[in-house]
Amino acid sequence: MNFYDKDIVSIRDLDRKQIEEILKVSEKMVPYAKGEKRAKVLEGKILGNLFFEPSTRTRLSFESAAHRLGVDVIDVSEMSMTAISKGETLADTIRMVDAYCDLIVLRHPHEGAARLAAKFSDNPVINAGDGAGSHPTQTLLDLFTIKRAKKRIDGLNIVIVGDLKYGRTVHSLVDALTLFGANLTFVAPETLQMPDDNIKHITEKGSKPKLTDRLEDAIPNADVLYVTRIQKERFPDPSEYNKVAGMYRIDNAMLREAKKDLVVLHPLPRIDEIAPEVDDTSHAKYFEQAFNGIPVRMALLYMILGGEGL
């Protein structure tokens, strides 16, 4: 399967076989991601990390993945530090960065920015999150974490709770979980439910998602509980945020009726959706999930930049 020079703008750019291939290579990357083995197989390559929205995990794990493979990193983390602040367009900025590196990783507040970047860049572009749009590499690491924890994805009961309207990670995730035949339940207040377009897309692909606002009813049958933060920064009206803030909070009492092997995931950062007491239970896999960003992003760099020898 050839990933050389491929853009990763949306999870919809990948089919199930391609995703499985990325997960297979990610598995191989684990000892390298932990520093137990060394693999400077992409020495001489340069990654351009453009993060125009805050990030801890995505930015640093791409950087760590690059270093583990011998890739040099150039980066910008604020638009004010670029000529965009002087009025340069994103298209011209991308043309310039394209000339300075071999692959661009872009996080941007506007939905569609990564697709635009891919159009103006000769080198491949990876979408690291575009507004409330999508976050395909997060989805790949989510799938990797689920596969490692449950040994399969097909047929799992996956409950997704929180801000399903503005949460870009879940927009990508439900597409991929549909490809893998998981059973989906979406838990959110009506105002933050999964957008109709996303539901239409997965329904056309064969998914039959259940929609509810009652988390307590969904937990007992769940194999995976995917918790998300209410995306305060994307609410046009702060009073609307105040109406839904703190609506769902997972604590040990809430998990009393859960299956023993329930896996709790969260793309992070969390605010108060998961009580710290859950961190010490066998359900909590969200920190492992965040680590998995490194092997998965190493696999992407390796495959897209034409790595050989591992």
List residues near ligand CP by CB under 6 A. 55-59, 129, 138, 267-269
In angstroms, give the least distance from the CB of 226 to ligand CP.
Answer: 12
Q: 167 or 307: whose CB is closer to ligand CP?
A: 167
Q: 56 or 281: whose CB is closer to ligand CP?
A: 56
Q: 158 or 170: whose CB is closer to ligand CP?
A: 170
Q: 48 or 129: whose CB is closer to ligand CP?
A: 129
Cα–Cα nearest to 222, from 187, 262, 255: 262
Q: 138 or 145: whose CB is closer to ligand CP?
A: 138
In angstroms, give the least distance from the CB of 55 to ligand CP.
Answer: 3
Question: What are the tokens at 224?
Answer: 């995976």
- Cα–Cα distance between 308 and 28 in angstroms, integer? 13
In angstroms, give the least distance from the CB of 195 to ligand CP.
Answer: 19
**Is residue 110 within 8 Å of 116, Cβ to Cβ?**
no
**Is residue 58 within 8 Å of 293, Cβ to Cβ?**
yes
CA atoms within 13 A on the CB side of 304: 25
In angstroms, give the least distance from the CB of 51 to ligand CP.
Answer: 8
Q: 139 or 157: whose CB is closer to ligand CP?
A: 139
Question: What are the helix (H) ranges across the chain?
Answer: 16-33, 57-68, 90-100, 113-120, 136-150, 168-179, 196-204, 215-218, 238-244, 286-291, 293-304
- Cα–Cα distance between 301 and 278 in angstroms, integer? 33
Coil vs helix vs strand at 76: strand
CA atoms within 13 A on the CB side of 124: 20
In angstroms, give the least distance from the CB of 150 to ligand CP.
Answer: 20
- Cα–Cα distance between 137 and 130 in angstroms, integer? 12
In angstroms, give the least distance from the CB of 56 to ligand CP.
Answer: 4
Q: 61 or 193: whose CB is closer to ligand CP?
A: 61
In angstroms, give the least distance from the CB of 232 to ligand CP.
Answer: 13
Q: Give the burial class of 81: count Cβ atoms within 10 A of its Cβ; 0-12 exposed, 13-18 middle, 19 or more buried.
A: exposed
**Is residue 235 within 8 Å of 191, Cβ to Cβ?**
no
CA atoms within 13 A on the CB side of 117: 34
In angstroms, give the least distance from the CB of 296 to ligand CP.
Answer: 12
Q: 28 or 234: whose CB is closer to ligand CP?
A: 234
Which amino acid is residue 241, in one-letter code? Y
